[in-house]
Chain A
Amino acid sequence: MSLRFARTLLVASGIIAIIFIVAACGSGDASPTASGGSASTGDIVVTGAWTRPMTASMPGMSMPSGSPGSMDMGHMTMPSGSPMAMGMDMSVTDAVYFTIKNNGKTADQLLSAAADVAGSTEMHQSTLANGISSMKPVSEVDVPAGGSVSFDPGNYHVMLVGLHRDLNVGDRFDLTLTFKQAGAVKVSVEVRPN
């Protein structure tokens, strides 16, 4: 009787363990949030696309009072006639994050990103050295065969420059990622705080 009970217990724990393993594997493959955008073309699968909420219009720049016709920015000087110096640059930036998985047997490369919500779209990488953060444009990002690349805060991101509309929590917009092999992959981006 007690042996039978022990066996039942062990079998039950086995079932629980299998559920546990399946759940763990599932969450490993899936996007960080189930609700995040997901898209695939051939061997390339893009999951968990998100960006933070941001207002499209912010008060523009104005010349600091008492400033002469040009501003010295250390290594560069902006003429007072340029659009930025005239207070017309109201552009707002945001960053899009996602995970790219390459299920194929050949390496691929992300070449560009485009979104209607922004004036321009750039691929960037943030780096941190000695506590100092820096951000540089990147022309392409390798996605190895059978591997994946994460676009995460503090690393790779697609930067939206000059938002055309407000991005509010729960909104979605399309982002088109163009790969060397897979071509264009359209991704639905979710707007959420974190």
Chain B
Amino acid sequence: MHWQRRTTLMIGIAALLVVLAGGSAWAAGLVPFANRDTAVHGTAYDANTVAPDFKLEAAGNKPVSLSDYHGDVVLLYFGYTYCPDICPTTLATLARAREALGSKANKVQVIMITVDPQRDTPDRLNAYVQKFDPSFIGLSGSLDQIKQVAAGYGIYFQAQKPNADGGYAVDHTAGVIAIDGQGKQRILESYGTTSEQFTSDIKTLLR
């Protein structure tokens, strides 16, 4: 009888500890500790870094400049539509981040600039980015124009050798550049940044 009661008690205590440990870990997972204030998740650029302006082509060969979005937070991404993994993952993350912003989302413009202008026409890019969010825009131009814009943002890209079918992948810097309403280049968000982290950083830039 005594033996039984002690065993029950010990199992009970062990169970209670498990519940407490599991519960607090769960709570911790829901409430991130770091960056709760004004600190950003990505890498901040030097203060007063002006985002280089550009003029490229959107759907219907409509010219679009960065300065058209003055006053908005611009999330600039360099990718390509034949990219099945990294690019869609990033665009889906940005779509979720924008969704979480509610009414503030109309102050956020996602722009994807192609690193594969040979295959990505403005219309193809447009069809692609709108699969993720109808507000997203895709820009293309000549290879020289794209090279110049990419270089201005410290973005590397290089097409790989084509396979037997003529298909090829393009290596490219995978980060997202966040530009504030004043046209300042503020944050580089590396690949793997979560939608919650994007939402938080966008809110910081909108303040």
Which residues on A are within 8 Å of B, measured CB to CB? 7, 9-11, 13-18, 20-21, 24, 52-55, 58-62, 64, 71-76, 78, 82-84, 89, 91-95, 120, 124, 126, 128, 131-137, 153-154, 157, 159-161, 193-194
Contact = CB atoms under 8 A, between A and B. Distances in A.
B200 interface: no
B162 interface: yes
B199 interface: no
B151 interface: no
Contacts of A15: 15
A15 B12 CA distance: 9
Interface of B: 5, 8-9, 11-16, 18-19, 22, 81-86, 88-89, 92, 95-96, 117-121, 123-124, 127-128, 131, 142-143, 156, 158-163, 165-167, 169, 171-175, 190-192
Contacts of A135: 83, 85-86, 169, 171
Contacts of B156: 132
B190 to A, nearest CB: 6
List the 10 shortest-distance A-B pairs measured between CB atoms, nearest first.
A10-B12, A17-B15, A14-B15, A59-B123, A133-B174, A95-B84, A153-B89, A93-B84, A134-B171, A135-B169
B174 A131 contact: yes
A52 B88 contact: yes
Contacts of A194: 92, 96
Instruction: Describe A's contact surface by its main secondary structure.
Output: mixed
Nearest to B13: A10
A160 B142 CA distance: 28
Contacts of A76: 159, 161-162
A62 B60 CA distance: 13
A133 B73 CA distance: 25
A89 to B, nearest CB: 7
Contacts of B84: 93-95, 124, 157, 159-160
A82 to B, nearest CB: 7
Contact of A159 (B85, B160, B166): B85
